[in-house]
A and B are shown apart, each in its own frame.
Chain A
Amino acid sequence: MSGWISSLFRRELQLATRAGGSALVGVLFFLAVVTVIPFGVGPDLNLLGRIGPAILWIGALLATLLGLDRLFQADRDDGSLDLLLMAGRPLELVVLIKCLAHWVATGLPLVAAAPVLAIFLNLEPVAIGAVTLTLLAGTPALTFIGAIGASLTVTLRRGGLLLAVLVVPLAIPVLIFGVSAADAAVSDPVPFLTPFLILCALTLIAGVIGPIASAAALRFSAD
Chain B
Amino acid sequence: MPKLIVDDLTVDRGGRRVFAGLSFQLEAGHALVITGANGAGKSSLLRTLAGLVPPANGRMAFEGGDSDSTLAEHAHYFGHESAVKRALSVSSNLEFWRDFTRPVLPDGFAANAMAPMDILELLGIGHTADLPAAYLSAGQTRRLTLARLFVSPRPLWLMDEPTSALDAASEAQLIGLMNTHLKNGGMIVTATHTELTALSPVTALQLTAPAAGDHGGHGYDDDLEAFA
Near A by CB (< 8 A), chain B positions 65-79 give 69-70, 72-73, 75, 77, 79
A79 in contact (CB, < 8 A): yes
Q: Which chain A residues border B85 with CB–CB below 8 Å?
A: 11, 15, 78, 80
**Does the CB pair A7–B100 fall under 8 Å?**
yes
- Range for the number of chain A residues in contact with chain B: 20 to 34
Q: Which chain B residues border A79 with CB–CB below 8 Å?
A: 79-83
Q: How many residues of B contact A (CB 8 A)?
A: 32
Near A by CB (< 8 A), chain B positions 193-212 give none
A4 in contact (CB, < 8 A): yes
Near B by CB (< 8 A), chain A positions 50-102 give 78-80, 82-89
**Does the CB pair B99–A4 fall under 8 Å?**
yes
CB distance from B37 to the nearest CB of A (A): 22
CB distance from A75 to the nearest CB of B (A): 8
Q: How many interface contacts (CB-CB < 8 Å) are there between A and B?
A: 81
* A18, A19, A83 — most chain B CB neighbours (10 Å): A83
**Complex Cα distance A38/B2, Å?**
69
CB distance from B106 to the nearest CB of A (A): 13
* A4, A18, A88 — most chain B CB neighbours (10 Å): A88
Q: Known interface pairs A8-B96, A15-B87. Does A78 touch B81 (Cβ–Cβ under 8 Å)? A: yes
Q: Which chain B residues border A87 with CB–CB below 8 Å?
A: 73, 100-102
Q: Which chain B residues border A7 with CB–CB below 8 Å?
A: 95-96, 99-100
**Does the CB pair B87–A14 fall under 8 Å?**
yes
**Does the CB pair B81–A3 fall under 8 Å?**
no
**Does the CB pair B73–A88 fall under 8 Å?**
yes
- Please name 16 further chain A to chain B contacts, defined as beta carbons within 8 Å, in addition to the given A88-B104, A222-B52, sorted by A numbering: A3-B99, A7-B96, A7-B100, A8-B96, A14-B88, A14-B92, A15-B87, A20-B86, A78-B82, A78-B84, A79-B80, A82-B50, A82-B79, A85-B72, A88-B69, A223-B13
Q: Which residues of A contact B (CB under 8 A)?
A: 3-4, 7-8, 11, 14-15, 18-21, 78-80, 82-89, 222-223
